Structure 1
């Protein structure tokens, strides 16, 4: 019956099914086949499921018909013995049957799977067989690949026409195309779309310059091409000339002489314009910006800018006129000076140069156009701090420029001071009265008719070194036109005077001490402050002495003081152009008190090797203090016979024993220590030990010298052991001798003569 059903199935397979509309036809009478059609869409490389009824049939057969053909070929079937996948299925993708159903799953869907799949399903075969035909129209779609954009001309000329094409390698239609434009600032907009992959752009202009891309889309996906730059070629436009600084006149532009003038030419063009500058029809510069530093009057004339587009071989030109004006340099100069022997004032105003000459006048006094205006004013009735203003104007300036001068008395009093030249040849007396307008007149008068003529603002009287009169005043006179009375300042020269904080300084030895020497204030500076030590030798910065000094004081620090070397008189000395002086400071170095006596209570070798000695001592009056440490000494006394110069002694040890004995010291800085071990001793040498207390640098009396005692030990077991060992060794030697005689009796030399 199964065979009959199968024959029936293949008998009724349709040969041409192209309708993709889903519908079902069901024949009600018995033995009529039921037909159902569905359409399924898949994507290349993806997965798709083809259904065969809502429930699992008793038997089913899946077959495939390629589009444009009538052949029906089996793909997979199950006749109750399990599914059997046919070889054809390998060309349709990775086909598997879904468990507990007749539906098939196709993964990694290829384009070859596009076509009609038919599932013949059989139900209730043993009772009332039912046959269903499921037609599944599988449409395999291909996603669009990444498009690439082509342009007929990536650098079109403004006003021309060009086309853009969006090319695809793969993609199932229908395909929609969107054309996008991206500005330089990054703004993206769509300017065209449709189902065609080519567009035409007419009347290209500079606004079309930018990035372009196309986006291709179908029912599966959407892909965008890489962007492509469209560069519109145009220009040059009529140049625009900017003049800096900007100053326009009836004839064109103007500039002031010695200014830096910049002419900037700009003409819109792509590629960028090449610029050539002409001055009075002569080429002077190539470039967009012509800069004239410190422009001169001879630079007046016509300046033309020629803009060129070398790609299109086009050009444009513009000409301007530039006039150079030159006012007088700077600004008016005002000054005031003394007149009529410092009893009147003269006001001066000048501003040389300029074309034409500037106009000058004093406000409130005189109006005149002279370039050198002078006004004489009597000092009577003039107040200190009076202001006078001179106005200057010029055609090249938009507004007048003024200058002012002020008359005032110097704010302070005249100042007198003295100083000496470096080589001590001259003494210079200086008098100054700074400030004031006009400047004051100063002159010197000294003892014995000494004088020096007047000079403005300051005056210096030069004397030979050592010729100044001590205690006699030198007077400086100062005269100003705004004052009726003459001012004076006096300078009295004196020899220096030295001071010190302490004339006698006392410290304990080993300390650092500072000696001070100060110069009392006087008008005449000294050459230098010098220190001399207790031996009368000038002191310099050394490891022993430290000098810290200025022009007014000098401090001497004596380091690590010693009673013998550093006690005594120290001298501080200085001099100036009038005379010299010195001051003595006595330095007293005190020793620390004598420490208490120390007694050795134990001196003993701590082993039979005799190379270490342990010492113990006691301090008298322990509670009284007065010591900071100890000096532990030992000396070589004698050596056992037969040891001098032995092979085991080093050369240095031999020389030390031959040379006169010396005390070797060990410094113990801890005052609390009472036991100490001296090592690295020669066992054959006899030593003596002593100890001395120390209080800082004061060393106390040495204790009585003591020889180390031998360590206590029992010699009887050692003697018995040595005797027994000797007897055993002698017996052993006797036995060896007897064995030798017995073995060699045939070789006895006495038998050879018998």
Structure 2
């Protein structure tokens, strides 16, 4: 500012010389500033806008603040200057026309014009600029809102306790900011366009005026997120089984780190730091879980879902069956209820396009190719694949069974049961002769028709009756006739223990025999038992007596307290109420009954005869043996060569298989030590022939 003062003084001197040179030629007002025309003043100080003039005495001067006259006065006049009322405390005009500001306030910053007039002379004007400053103090740099990524405009502003800023400069991380597409520098603010996380950093503002300068900083953190979260279930599986334990986490980038909260429908499950722990998970916990991420400062939210699948295996195993439809068609069933989700059921061998869940069925016309054919149901569940099979078959041959009992009102009840193995279950029908049996007083048929009950008082009404049982399903039928018989025994046996004190009687009855009970009869010594008087009964029964009675369902009985040294006889009599059938055969136990007189006489006469026969037989054997021995001792002479040749030739043939008869081979004469004189003729070397077996008849 020193050079400005020197320049002003130089200009004043120049104007004075110029005025003096031409004063003599023509009279003219000349006004000039003394010092700089741009004056900086500190608020509260005294400052003067100095001027000088030439060319007239006692001119009239006027000071204008902008366009408003604030002071008017004639120099040298005794009349005080005319100063605007509200500015009298600040403005003061000097004797030479200069304007002085006393304790100049900030509001007096303006352009000031000095006008000088003199009658007969032209008006002379000069101008000043006064800038009033305060020292800059307590500058605060602020951001009026959160710096959130994505905002179109974000503004940083500064405020201060006092001061007038003549110059401002903004910096980002100590690099000067200029107005461009990203930044706009405005009065007391900096505007950032399209805020992003890259704008996070330190912002600095530098403020300056002629009397002070201040630098202040602010750190701006751009909030961002939450970004797209990562939802993860551990252990990672396509689905979970009921009872499993798993955890689900929800994480996302952002600043500050967003908080996560889980929601499941209207439920808020237990969670910790965005981690959802599920222990012993059940099927009702399957579904869509929503994670909500929130940035607390910016209140920005983001939601994302994860679907949890919890499966449960159907209970048990799939069950297959086949049923009859109107005894014409076959309906195949496959059932595997329960489970989450339900299993998909199908019969691939019957249809490649049909399937169902829980209970699935297919209906087909009965045909020969289905009889005995095994059909498999495939049960497909995410947890397990299973199957079951069923085979449709026509009724098989069967044997009816018969049971007999006595009703409470004394009737004989004969139950005939016909059960034929078939799939689907065979339908049973009954007939007597050519007439269908209808349920009523005499006949009762069970709900599944497998049992026919015949009720009557007299067993004779059952005998020789023929009933026919028919079992049928869509694949075929079987029938059997039942011919009822009276009470009879088909087999009767007896077994005793080692000591002979207990016997077990067993018996059977014909399959179609009507029997309501049995009389167990015995003949022999009475079994020991106490009479009413306390004495034991003794004696012997010469006829069969009933010792026990058994119901018709019994097939064996034990008899105790037998005497092993005595003889007992047993039999069983079948009964139909009071009607008795033929007794069984008699079974006996005990020692023999002794020999008869005729047997004793026969034995006595046979003993001497037997001894005599043995003696004669011994003599005959002796003579036979002695005679055979003598024959073996005779000498055999040699035969001629012709005979020998014949014998030799004969020996070469296959010998007949004969009995030896005790004969010996002929002697070898070559081995006899005989001199030539002892031989009647010279003998050739003798080779004994092969032994010939001969038969000897005694």
Class of the TM-score when normalised by the shorter of the 2 chains:
0.3 to 0.5
Larger radius of gyration: 2
